Structure formats: structure tokens, C-alpha cells
């Protein structure tokens, strides 16, 4: 079985891009300790004098690295291990009713 890295090699260039940026940062500011790169996604913003959010658009660089289109997320890249970690905020329990239930054929195929 092929490893995940070999499968995603040509399909997901973000990890290679992170490694390239980390190498550039090491060259410009040499540092012996463990290094991390932190990137913040777009925050939820509210319309002034209103209780509605501004239409959401994720930050370009954050979306390129993560593919995540959710607000209020954070990304940490651990340079020595080349490990990307995405932090997604907990879902508001009141929103669980907005999720569409599975279709009838999907429910029938589910074994309990």
C-alpha cells in the first residue's frame, strides 16, 4: 500500500510550500530551537449595528495551505517534523439542526 505522502505528492503542494518557506526562514534567521509557523484564518465579523455576520471569505494563504473554508480556524506548522495542525473551533450546538439529515436510502443502508 502506498504511503499518504506519495499519494498526495502532486495533488497537495501546500506541505512542500510550507517546507520551502521554513527553509527560507531558517536561512534568514538561524535558530537552533524547535520552530513553529502560526497562521490565523479569517475571523467572524459582524455587520455594524446588526446581528448578522459579514459574508465570509477565507484568507487566501490560509485556504491554500488548509483547504478549510470555516471561520475562526488556526494553523500551526511544526518545522522540524513538517507537521501541519489545523485547529477548528467547536460547533455551536444550536446549529446542529441546520445540518440536513441523511436521505432515506442512506438511512436504510446504515446497519445498527
Identify whether the C-beta of residue 48 lies closer than 8 Å to the C-beta of residue 19: no
DSSP-derived letter for residue 82 is: T
User: Domain of 35?
Assistant: 4-109
Taking only the tens of pLDDT, the chain with its 112 residues reads 567 666 666 666 777 777 787 788 777 777 666 678 888 999 988 888 888 888 988 898 888 888 888 899 999 988 888 788 999 988 777 766 665 666 667 666 665 5
Pull the grid cell for residue 74: 488556526
Given this model, what pLDDT does residue 73 score?
A: 93
Identify whether the C-beta of residue 82 lies closer than 8 Å to the C-beta of residue 19: yes
CATH number where 66 lies: 3.40.350.10
Nearest of 13, 33, 16 to residue 82 by alpha carbon: 16
Structurally, the chain folds into a number of domains equal to 1
Q: Is the dihedral of CA 92, 65, 42, 81 positive or negative?
A: positive
Amino acid at each position: 500500500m502506498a504511503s499518504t505522502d506519495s499519494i498526495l505528492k502532486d495533488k497537495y503542494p501546500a506541505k512542500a510550500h510550507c517546507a520551502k518557506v521554513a527553509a527560507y526562514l531558517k536561512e534568514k534567521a538561524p535558530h537552533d530551537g524547535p520552530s513553529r509557523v502560526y497562521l490565523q484564518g479569517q475571523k467572524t465579523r459582524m455587520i455594524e449595528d446588526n446581528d448578522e455576520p459579514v459574508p465570509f471569505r477565507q484568507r487566501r494563504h490560509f485556504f491554500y495551505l488548509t483547504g478549510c473554508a470555516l471561520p475562526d480556524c488556526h494553523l500551526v506548522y511544526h518545522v522540524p517534523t513538517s507537521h501541519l495542525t489545523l485547529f477548528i473551533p467547536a460547533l455551536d450546538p444550536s446549529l446542529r439542526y441546520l445540518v440536513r439529515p441523511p436521505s432515506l436510502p442512506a438511512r436504510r443502508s446504515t446497519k445498527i
